[in-house]
Structure 1
Amino acid sequence: MTFNDRIFGILLIVLAVAYGWGATQFPEPFGGAEGVGPDTFPLLLAGVLALSSLYLIVRPDPDNAWPWSRTGVELIIAVVVLIVYTALLQPLGFILSTLLAVGTLCWRMGASPLKAYATGGVAGVVVFLIFNFALDLALPLGLLSFLEVN
């Protein structure tokens, strides 16, 4: 079933190009500073995704069957959760969006709802703090903008 890997690889290349293009649309940092900016990490991810996609196209797995059972449904749910996550990132903010996305994905993988959403909340807060204070890269606060430190 090398056909499935090649189709998936082509879809992932389209995603990598769209993701990379989206990263170039971020506004320039104040002062036009060179070096690490808000587009650096997403561009690296787009590059890794594109290279991995090319590998799938050039060297597909000969024994790969498409998972139309419960695994296929779970994969579709995960993709939908990630699409909704990107749509909610600006209005809800990084912390709440991450809480919902990571919590839902953990719950779908078998964690209890309380543990799943606690994990999502901790992940959202920790990553937010790392990006805002250690990396000095602002993430949207959305509904939690009242927490913004001036």
Structure 2
Amino acid sequence: MTQLNDRIFGVLMLVLAVAYGWGATQFPVPFGGSEAVGPETFPKVLAVVLALSSLYLMFKPDPDNAWPKGRIILELVIAVLVLVAYTLLLQPLGFIPSTLLAVGTLCWRMGAAPVRAYVTGAVAGVVVYLLFTYALNLALPLGVLSVLEGS
């Protein structure tokens, strides 16, 4: 029965991957139109990875996958709530502060000391922001930090 759970989950994730990939193709073409890397590139890569992972689950399910119990369920619920809050705060707060809070909280929940967890979140936010902004030339929301941009 547990293998059937993996297969059903794999089918659902494959449907999500196809929908997500199709959604990425609906982004407007950037000005100039001939860029190799555009705003749809990262979502397309994620869709491919999700599709391949889904196929793996469907054709090679785990023979002994037990459902988590007790505290593990609580931690999973907290992780989902943190990720939902991250998506809701991304635009108003901006990428760096939202990432600091999300990554820091998730690291802390996984056992890191709070100061180290939130320093990791801050470093991750800044590094990924710089990578996307300067290496990939893709804009991420600045949110409250946009005040600093105007100075």
TM-score bracket, normalised by the shorter chain, equals 0.7 to 0.9
Distance between the aligned counterparts of 2:15 and 2:142, measured in 1? 29
Alignment CA distance shift 1:15-1:81 (3 Å):
farther
SS of residue matched to 2:86: helix
Q: Secondary structure at the match of 1:29?
A: coil
How far apart are residue 25 of structure 1 and its match? 4.3
**Corresponding position of 1:75:** 76
| Number of the residue aligned with 2:42 | 41
Unaligned runs of 5+ in 1: none
Q: Contact between 1:98 and 1:123, CA under 8 Å: does it hold in 2?
A: yes
Number of residue equivalences: 150
TM-score (normalised: structure 2): 0.86
In structure 2, the partner of 1:148 is 149
Indicate the residue corresponding to 1:113 in structure 2. Answer: 114
TM-score, normalised with respect to structure 1: 0.87
The 2-side partners of 1:106 and 1:21 are apart by 32
CA distance in 2, matches of 1:9, 1:77: 23
Q: What is the SS of the residue equivalent to 1:31?
A: coil
Q: Distance in 2 between matches of 1:96 and 1:31?
A: 31
Unaligned runs of 5+ in 2: none
Identity of aligned residues (%): 73
Q: State whether residues 4 and 66 of structure 1, in contact with CA within 8 Å, keep that contact through their aligned partners in structure 2.
A: no
